[in-house]
Structure 1
Amino acid sequence: MKRILKKGIEHKKARWGWFFVLPSLAFFAVFSFYPIVNALYTSLFRKRLLSLRPPTFIGLENYEYLLKSPDFWNSIKATLIFTIGTFIPILVFSLLLASFIMSRKRFQKFFQMAFYSPAVLSSVVAAAIWLLILDPRGLANTGANFLLGTKGIDYKWLASANMVRFSTILVYFWKYIGYFTIIYITGLASIPQSLHEAAMIDGANGWKDFWHITIPLLKPTTVLVSIMSMLQCLKTFSTQYLFTQSGAPLEPINVITLNIYNTAIRDHNIGRASAMSIILFIIMLFFTWLQFKASRSGGEVDYM
């Protein structure tokens, strides 16, 4: 009787669980799953964006074209350079900033607000602010000339290939470093203080405590930050778009998302743009799977 009653209660809980999850599932199906399936379907056709002619089924020809296209491989290169150049510094410095803020006994809230404030800006506004800073007469050249003891030199932040890559990385680093710092602060606050006190009693110094206790216990937070920051970098668009519209060279920062936009909106080739979207989706899935797999190797808390 008790087993039947328990089973009935569990069934009722499960039913209510599905009831509460259903709106999220419906939202995901309409705004995420359907666009992915539709993009996959569209990528198999030769379809012009504004043409009244029906699309022509061409199978995998769009994918074959992209794999042989130097322009698409340049987009892969630009995306990887931007992702690696942004993802690694954000991961490292957000952890260091979080540790610094947590070690302060005063002004913790001030530091959190100061570092997080750029994250509330949209990517378009952030890029527009940095366009003013990186202007030849802007603060970037003035500050660089002052620090390096030079006078009147234009460092071509938006003109040379390497500098425009660095500029886009700088904008994203400035915008998102505070956001991921707050996530790390939450992770650091969840570590029991008794573990640090026990380590100090056993003779562990600050570095050993950080390396053998803080880092292993922050592993779930690190996985979250690494995946979120990597995906954010892979789907970057606004900064590169505004920079190129302002006269910056296209090739060094022609990331996949910008190439998708130009192919679909400028060239009206929605089929090929959809194929690029699917390839980007596969790349994002692969790197997410790779990070999950790399995070499975557990580390023990050992400070001796």
Structure 2
Amino acid sequence: MRRVFNRGIEHKKARWGWLFVIPSLAFFAVFSFYPIINAFYTSLFRKRLLDLRPPKFIGFANYEYLLKSPDFWNSVKATSIFTLGTFIPIVVFSLLLAVFIMSRRRFQKFFQMVYYSPAVLSSVVAAAIWLLIFDPRGLANTTMNTLLGTVGKDYKWLATAGMVRLSTILVYFWKYIGYFTIIYITGLASIPQSLHEAAQIDGANGWKDFWHITLPLLKPTTVLVSIMSMLQCLKTFSTQYLFTQSGAPTQPINVITLNIYNTAIRDHDIGRASAMSIILFGIMLFFTWLQFRVSKSGGEVDY
């Protein structure tokens, strides 16, 4: 009798659970799952923007073309350089900044507000601000000339391949470092203070406490930050688009998203742009799976 009663309660809980989950599933189905399926379907056709003729089915010809296209592989290279140059420093420095803020007894809220403030700006606004900074008469050249003792030198932030790559990395680092710092602060705050006190009683110094207690317990937070920051880097578009529209060379920062936009809007090739979108989605899915796999493969840590 008790089993039947418990089973009835579980069924009621399940029904209520589905009732609350269905709106989210419907939202994702309409705005996430359907666009992905539609993009894959479109990638199988030769479809031109504003073309009145019906699209022609060509199978995987768009994918074959992209895998042989130097322009596409240049986009893969540009995306890889940008992602590695931004993702790794963001994860490392956001952790260090979070530890620094949490170690302060005063002005914690002030530091959090200061570091987080760029994250509230849109990517376009952030890029526009840095366009002014990277101007030959802007703050970037002034600062570098002061630090290096040069006079009136133009470091060509948006003119050469290496500098324009560095410029886009700086913009994203500045914009998102505070956002991920706050996430790390939340993770640090969830660690019981009694563990740190016990480590101090056992004679552990600050470095040992961080290495053997703080860092292992921050593993779930680190996985979250790593995945979110990598996906954000792979989806980068606004900064590269605005920089190229302002005269910066396109090839060094022609990331996949920018190539997708130019292929669809400038070249009017919706089918090929959809194929690039699916490839980018596959890359993001693979790296997300890989990070989860690596995080689960780590052994348990003795504290």
Identity of aligned residues (%): 87
1:203 shift after superposition: 1.1
Paired AA for residue 28 in structure 1: F
TM-score normalised by the chain length of structure 1: 0.99
Is 2:287 the partner of 1:287?
yes
Matches within 5 A, 1:143-158: 143-158=143-158
Matches within 5 A, 1:85-96: 85-96=85-96
Deviations 1:180-205 (A, max 9, x none): 00000000000001111111111111
Kept after mapping to 2: 8 A contact 1:263/1:269: yes
Deviations 1:36-56 (A, max 9, x none): 000000000000011000000
Structure 1: 5+ residue stretches without partners:
none
Instruction: Show the counterpart of 1:100.
Output: 100
Instruction: Show the counterpart of 1:23.
Output: 23
Q: Distance in 2 between matches of 1:159 and 1:89?
A: 24
Q: Aligned with 1:296: secondary structure?
A: helix
Q: Distance in 2 between matches of 1:301 and 1:106?
A: 32
TM-score normalised by the chain length of structure 2: 0.99
Matches within 5 A, 1:1-304: 1-302=1-302
Paired AA for residue 213 in structure 1: I
Paired AA for residue 259 in structure 1: N
Q: Aligned with 1:295: secondary structure?
A: helix
More displaced, 293-302 or 157-166? 293-302
RMSD (Å) for aligned C-alpha atoms? 0.7
Paired AA for residue 282 in structure 1: G
1:298 shift after superposition: 3.5
Q: Distance in 2 between matches of 1:300 and 1:6?
A: 36
Paired AA for residue 222 in structure 2: T
1:301 shift after superposition: 4.1
Q: Aligned with 1:48: secondary structure?
A: coil
Q: Distance in 1 between matches of 2:52 and 2:302?
A: 67
**Number of positions where the alignment pairs a residue of Structure 1 with one of Structure 2:** 303
More displaced, 197-206 or 94-103? 197-206
1:16 shift after superposition: 0.6
Deviations 1:215-244 (A, max 9, x none): 100000000000000000000000000000
Kept after mapping to 2: 8 A contact 1:90/1:229: yes
Paired AA for residue 141 in structure 2: N
1:297 shift after superposition: 2.6
Deviations 1:84-136 (A, max 9, x none): 00000000000000000000000000000000000000000000000000011
Structure 2: 5+ residue stretches without partners:
none
The 4+ residue runs of structure 1 with deviation greater than 6 A are none
1:299 shift after superposition: 4.3
Kept after mapping to 2: 8 A contact 1:216/1:299: no
Paired AA for residue 85 in structure 1: G
